[in-house]
Amino acid sequence: MSNDAAASPPPLDDLLASARVVVLPLATPFRGIDVREAVLFQGPEGWTEFSPFVEYGDDEASTWLAAAIDFGWMPQPAPLRNEVPVNATVPAVAAASVPELLARFDGCRTAKVKVAEPGQRLTDDIARVAAVREALGVEGRIRVDANGTWNVDEAERALHAFAEYDLEYAEQPCETVEELAELRRRVKYMGIPIAADESVRKAADPTAVARAGAADLLVIKAQPLGGVRRALAIVAEAGLPAVVSSALDTSVGLSMGLALAAALPALDYDCGLGTASLFTADVASPALAPRGGVLPVGRVAPDPSRLDELTASMDRQEWWRARIARCHALLGG
């Protein structure tokens, strides 16, 4: 959280007074879920979002609350650009479903493909990547994301298998910094950059992966890193190129990611902020979905009627309100 907001977080009652707990349905299961829960708050600076995944503990989730408070209660860095190019996101679907899924991402010429899904095989991943390459053509860019699932040998074998599809980079192929460094050394001759995601947002020291020479670029997310300014500071300290990605946010949360992407000194890669296209309903009307492969930078306010339609059940509202109270206490509130 920014220093000002951390020194004096808003009272818990202020947060809960405007809190709206929503449930967004997904068009295709993602990360093993078919709905996404989130809490929206309205602060002095505008609407903001708190949406750590339900399995995360309070210590980790409190960083997400810090980001929500910072975005809703503090002025943000001045944008350096008015729009941000974004990629399509392809969950671990069957290859035959790829064209229909990509059609949801208007004008996107880059695709991030989820691989190493539990219960699937490398042959499934190869078929999915091949289908994306066929759909995008030779000029499209493909990146794969294994969420740290492979060991070094498995990752090396998979990247060899993907080589003919001309990968832009491989995101978090292995879990640990040491494994990433070893894999990077092994595949350097192949010219496939290694990107770190979990090794940044889930690490006690998010710049350790850069110091270890274990990554060529960072994948950063505003909420898990505590907000836009803290994420910018991490990128500056790491000294590596960065891609801004979403955490399967609503359009309100995506606007926080766009504020981060807009404030980066350099933006060399399409960002993973087009994920509103994975939902069948969103809190904004229209949803903050790609048009011509880009998203506009700016705050998003939810549509009141959509908030009502997507409101969570009473028991889920109580669950989230209790979680907010615990995380708020951890922030010193």
- What is 182-248 written as a DSSP string? HHHHHHGGGT--EEESHHHHT-SSTTHHHHTT--SEEEE-TTTTTSHHHHHHHHHHHTS-EEEB-SS
Q: Is 112 a catalytic residue?
A: no
Q: What is the mean pLDDT of residues 144-162?
A: 98
Q: What is the pLDDT of residues 262-301, one digit of tens each?
A: 999 999 999 999 999 999 999 999 999 999 999 999 999 9
CA distance 3 to 270: 30
Cα-based distances in Å from 101 to 225, 276, 290: 29, 13, 13
Cβ within 8 Å of residue 308, ≥6 positions away? none
Task: Say if CB 172 and CB 198 are below 8 A apart.
Answer: yes
Domain 3-76+305-330: give its CATH code: 3.30.390.10
Give me the residues paired with residue 90 across strands: 113
Q: What is the pLDDT of residues 49-87, one digit of tens each?
A: 999 999 999 999 999 999 999 999 999 999 999 999 999
3-class state of residue 297 by DSSP: coil
Task: Say if CB 114 and CB 145 are below 8 A apart.
Answer: yes
Q: What are phi and psi of 29, to 5 degrees?
A: -55, 140
CA distance 278 to 256: 18
Indicate if the pLDDT at residue 138 is higher than 70: yes
How high is the mean pLDDT of the chain?
A: 96
CA distance 88 to 107: 9
Indicate if the pLDDT at residue 1 is higher than 90: no
pLDDT of residue 4: 55
Q: What is the mean pLDDT of residues 186-215?
A: 95
pLDDT of residue 31: 78
Closest CA to 151 of 170, 181, 173, 120: 173
Q: Is 221 a catalytic residue?
A: yes
Domain 83-303: give its CATH code: 3.20.20.120
Task: Say if CB 208 and CB 177 are below 8 A apart.
Answer: yes
Pairing of strands 294-296, 83-85: antiparallel
Closest CA to 50 of 26, 76, 20, 6: 20
CA distance 236 to 220: 12
If pLDDT is split at 50, 70 and 90, which confidence band does 32 have?
confident
If pLDDT is split at 50, 70 and 90, which confidence band does 3 have?
very low
Task: Say if CB 226 and CB 63 are below 8 A apart.
Answer: yes
CA distance 302 to 48: 10
What are the DSSP E strand ranges found in 45-184? Answer: 46-50, 83-85, 88-90, 110-114, 141-145, 167-171
pLDDT of residue 2: 43
Q: Is 171 annotated as a binding residue?
A: yes
Indicate if the pLDDT at residue 333 is higher than 80: no
Q: Would you kindly state where each structural domain of the chain is located, as residue ranges?
A: 3-76+305-330, 83-303
Length of the chain: 333
pLDDT of residue 7: 55
